[in-house]
Amino acid sequence: MHSYKLNIWDVGGQKTLRSYWRNYFEKTDALIWVVDSTDRLRIDDCREELHGLLQEERLAGASLLIFANKTDVDGCMSEQEILSSLALADIRSHQWHILRCSAMTGTNLQEGLAWVVEDAKKRLFLY
């Protein structure tokens, strides 16, 4: 059984920080994109940023996990609504997976990281 070490960077999504994202692209095997499932006003901006980011050459081949956060809040977007709003079906350049989660309760956080590791393992050569 192999053990894996993950280097995880939380680079933040605020517009003022987005210009710094490129500093973290080198040797990226997976991208975890966290969506606020209660924020319908910014979902279009979220889609545009995500699709623009996936054009980056240094992210080619990286796994993409979309964490739909705050799904425990009444009135949040459904998984299907997020899938549609982010145009995930149009993403063919990256293996992706969407998973409902809650940062407050921890729901599905371990499952999401397990998916990231399993998907990355399919593409990595282990010696």
Q: Which residues are annotated as a binding site?
A: 13, 69-72
- Look at residues 116, 80, 77, 79 and name the one whose alpha carbon lies nearest to residue 100: 79
For this structure, is 110 an active site residue?
Answer: no
d(C-alpha 21, C-alpha 53), whole Å: 9
Residue 31 exposed, middle or buried by CB count within 10 Å (0-12, 13-18, 19+): buried
d(C-alpha 100, C-alpha 122), whole Å: 23
One of 14, 80, 95, 110 is an active-site residue; which one?
14
Cα torsion through 10, 15, 16, 19, rounded to 10: 70
Please name the helix (run of DSSP H) or strand (run of DSSP E) that holds residue 53, with its range, or none: helix 43-53
Q: Which residues are annotated as a binding site for GTP?
A: 13, 69-72
Q: What amino acid positions are annotated as catalytic residues?
A: 14
